[in-house]
Amino acid sequence: MTPTATRDLEVPHQTVKPSFKSVSEVLTDDLRAMILSGELAEGEPLPQRSVARRYGVSEVVVREALRVLEHEGMVATEPRKGARVSCLSAEEVREIWELRLPIERLLTEKAVPAARAEDLAQAEALNKAMTAARDPVAWLSLNREFHTRLYTPAQRPRILRFADNLRMMMDRYLRLHLGVLQRFDVADREHRDILTAYHERDSHLACKYVEAHLLRTADSVVTFLAKRGK
């Protein structure tokens, strides 16, 4: 894939105003959201001086934000070239989904017997909201919350953070896929199956549905990216 030509970062001039988060965390969240939404495309340069000027922060703050995003796999840094929005091939995307399989299977196995009625009620509400959402960015935000809610009862916070990070790395590719192919209904049905298994306290069935959901999504997205020459 040919990287996007260098240009000044095109975001509205603004000053980052922290609330309960640090300035660096607020900047990280904003840049992450722009990458996930496609506002910042693959290969997009992220020059520290330009980002600092646009947001009215120091370059130290920008470096901290870019370091976090690089750890999340959303930004790549090359010596003497600086930071860019990362580019993943179709096979790299498949590899990340393959890594998610055993992790999310483990979380499901541990979470199903421990899930409380309120956990399932919240997951039901999120699933209902997803069935009404057809904007890819909004749907994916609800999707992250849905899976996090189902996995939280596993009480494996470190593993859950890792799973969330891997899912977030894939969301921009899933956004492209959803935006073009509009496969919301298929995912909604699969989520419904997973929820049913949770209600029945059937860990084996829930793991089976989660694995099928991940494999089907991976195959679909990788095929889509391969056809687009990724």
User: For each of the chain's 230 residues, which pLDDT tens digit applies?
Assistant: 444 444 455 544 454 554 567 899 999 999 988 988 888 988 899 999 999 999 999 999 999 999 999 988 889 988 888 999 988 888 889 999 999 999 999 999 999 999 999 999 999 999 999 999 888 888 989 999 999 999 999 999 999 999 998 998 888 888 877 766 667 888 999 999 999 999 999 999 999 999 999 999 999 888 888 887 65
Element (H, E) at 229: none
Residue 107 is part of which domain span? 90-227
| 15 assigned to some structural domain | no
Q: pLDDT digit string (tens) for 114-143?
A: 999 999 999 999 999 999 988 888 898 999
What CATH number corresponds to the domain at position 68?
Answer: 1.10.10.10
Please indicate, yes or no, whether residues 204 and 126 belong to a single structural domain of this protein.
yes
The verdict on residue 16 lying in a domain is: no
Nearest to 165 by CA among 220, 105, 103: 103
Same domain for 97 and 202, yes or no, is yes
Q: Are residues 59 and 155 in the same domain?
A: no
Domain end call among 85, 109, 127: 85
Question: Same domain for 32 and 105?
Answer: no
Q: How many domains does the chain have?
A: 2
The answer to whether position 12 is within a domain reads no
Q: Is residue 5 part of a domain?
A: no
Is 111 part of a structural domain of the chain? yes
Q: Does 144 map to a domain? A: yes
Q: Please identify, among 85, 114, 129, the residue that sits at the C-terminal boundary of a domain.
A: 85
Q: Long-range contacts made by residues 29-38, C-beta under 8 angstroms, separation at least 24?
A: 30/55, 31/65, 31/66, 31/69, 32/69, 32/72, 32/74, 32/168, 35/69, 35/74, 35/75, 35/85, 35/172, 36/137, 36/140, 36/168, 36/171, 36/172, 36/175, 37/137, 37/175, 38/172, 38/175, 38/176
Indicate whether 135 and 38 sit together in one domain. Answer: no
How confident is the model over 182-203, as pLDDT tens digits? Answer: 678 889 999 999 999 999 999 9
Do 104 and 210 contact (CB within 8 A), yes or no? yes
Looking at the structure, tell me whether residues 43 and 68 fall in a common domain.
yes
100 lies in the same domain as 192? yes
Query: Of 85, 110, 129, which closes a domain?
Result: 85
For residue 145, what is the domain's CATH number?
1.20.120.530
Same domain? 221 vs 195: yes
pTM of the shown model: 0.78
Domain match, 49 and 157 both: no
